[in-house]
Amino acid sequence: MRRAWYSLSVIALLGAVACGSDDNPAGPPPPPTRSVATITVTPGSDSLAIGDSVSLTASALDSIGAAISGTTFAWTSSDSTVATVSTAGMVMARAAGTATISAGASSKSGTATITVTDTVTAPVDVRFSNVFVVGMLEQDYSAVFGPNPTKMPFLDSLSKAGAAATGYFGNTHPSIGNFYTLLAGDTVTNDDNNATIFTGDNLIRQLIAAGKTWKSYAQSIPGVGYIGSDNGRYIRHHNVASLLTDVTTDSAQRANLVNTTQLTADIAAGTLPNFGMIVPDECYNSHLAGCGLDSADAFLRSTLTPLLASPAFQAGGNGMVIILFDRSHTSQLNGGGKVAWVAVGPRVKSGFTSATMFQHASTLRLVANSLGLTTPPGAAASAPSMSEFFTTP
């Protein structure tokens, strides 16, 4: 009896041990979660020109330096006026200065130092001897270069022979602020009736200081040096040079406010200025209150054909003509709506187009840089460069 009890006890014990081998059917426990110890940002530093960009990459590491995959980072900039950063780590240079870009996760952060340099000084390949800007008015891009551009066939031909910006926008509504931006890099006012004389920095001031010559050729201006109000088809706020203190207070500079008829004489005499602004009157400036796009195109043909035939604008020359519209009629996108912009000259890329977004401050930067001015006024100092439209000598 005692032996039977002992045998049963041994069997029960062996059964318990056997059953115990399946106590943990799920296998070994998962490894502990790794904490973020450090974050690195690559590259750790970079130098950009205004308008340039760089893509940064962040990596999360644990305490032994092993990468932790799947980490989501929060990107920030210490100074968004100098450089901005997207949620994906794309940095855009906005203005000269230094900004620290941070990538954060799990209360840790890594940084990169971005230095933005003001490289508005024009490279040699975009310097010009003579630059002319023709300011047209208030037409949608689609009205000028739509499915049927025959209302302005001459301008259309120039866009094919030269280059066109297909992502160009006016700055504001109505006109005066756009023309101020072209000369001062600042809209100054949106009141077309504002006759306050602007005292800030501007293209004319810089041209005078650099010993460069300039003229504003305004169709129907009542007389040389006229700085008065609208007169017939002459509209003063389209001729913003007459609203600059550098011109109004100096009789020698006022003498550069002339009629478009003077352009014919200057071409014949070989005395074209370094910078010329061409201001059509209210009939020929393409304004909706004017005489129509066909009349505006006729003005461009009669005015620009002899200019483009002059030596500076022929092969081997170093001149450039820009034709632009101040604002759209139906759109306020980006301030002034999409408008036409055309450049022509021997060093303009023939048939070239760019969809990059530009506005009037970029045209001012282009004009200033191309004439050797290294500190364009106002917003032009940090506006995107338009040098892509031109070839090297």
Q: Kindly list the domain boundaries of the chain, sorted by start residue.
A: 38-117, 124-389
Question: pLDDT value at position 267?
Answer: 97
How far from chain centre, in Å, is Cα 64? 46
| Structure token digits, residue 68 | 């932790």
Is residue 95 a contact partner of residue 382, using CB atoms and an 8 Å limit?
A: yes
Task: Please state, in angstroms and as integers, the Cα–Cα distance from residue 183 to each residue in 176, 188, 207, 235, following that order.
Answer: 11, 11, 11, 17
pLDDT truncated to tens, each residue of the chain (393 aa)? 444 434 434 334 344 444 444 455 556 666 667 888 999 998 988 888 777 778 898 999 988 888 988 899 999 999 998 899 999 898 988 888 899 999 999 899 999 999 987 654 444 346 899 999 999 998 999 999 876 667 899 999 999 999 999 999 999 999 999 999 999 999 999 999 998 999 999 999 999 999 999 999 999 999 999 999 999 999 999 999 999 999 999 999 999 999 999 999 999 999 999 999 999 999 988 876 668 899 999 999 999 999 999 999 999 899 999 999 999 999 999 999 999 999 999 999 999 999 999 999 999 999 999 999 989 999 999 999 998 999 865
Assigned CATH topology for domain 124-389: Alkaline Phosphatase, subunit A (3.40.720)
Angle in degrees, 0-180, between the axes of helices 176-184 and 360-370, rounded to the nearest 10: 30
With 0-12 CB in 10 A as exposed, 13-18 as middle and 19+ as buried, what is 204? buried
Task: Please state, in angstroms and rounded to a whole number, the distance separating the CA atoms of residues 257 and 270.
Answer: 18
Question: pLDDT value at position 32?
Answer: 64
Task: Please state, in angstroms and rounded to a whole number, the distance separating the CA atoms of residues 356 and 360.
Answer: 13
Is residue 95 a contact partner of residue 81, using CB atoms and an 8 Å limit?
A: yes
Task: Please state, in angstroms and rounded to a whole number, the distance separating the CA atoms of residues 365 and 361.
Answer: 6
Which long-range contacts link 262-270 to residues 24+ away (Cβ below 8 Å)? 262/215, 262/217, 263/217, 263/303, 263/307, 264/306, 266/215, 267/306, 267/307, 267/310, 270/310, 270/311
| 353 half-sphere exposure, CB direction, 13 A CA radius | 10
Task: Please state, in angstroms and rounded to a whole number, the distance separating the CA atoms of residues 98 and 75.
Answer: 16
The position carrying tokens 């006890």 is 9
Q: What is the 3-state secondary structure (H, E, C) of the chain?
A: CHHHHHHHHHHHHHHHHHHHCCCCCCCCCCCCCCCCCEEEEECCEEEEECCCEEECEEEEECCCCCECCCCCCEEEECCCCCEEECCCCEEEECCCEEEEEEEEECCEEEEEEEEEECCCCCCHHHCCCEEEEEEECCCCHHHHCCCCHHHCHHHHHHHHHCEEECCEECCCCCCHHHHHHHHHCCCCCCCCCCCCCECCCCHHHHHHHCCCCEEEEECCCCCCCCCCCCECCECHHHCHHHHEHHHHCCHHHHCCEECCHHHHHHHHHCCCCCEEEEECCCCCCCCCCCCCHHHHHHHHHHHHHHHHCCHHHCCCCCEEEEEEECCCCCCCHHHCCECCEEEECCCECCCEEECCCECHHHHHHHHHHHCCCCCCCHHHHHCCCCHHHECCC
Multiple choice CATH, 38-117, 2.60.40.1080, 3.40.50.410, 3.90.1150.10, 1.10.1750.10:
2.60.40.1080
Task: Please state, in angstroms and rounded to a whole number, the distance separating the CA atoms of residues 202 and 241.
Answer: 9
Question: pLDDT value at position 30?
Answer: 63
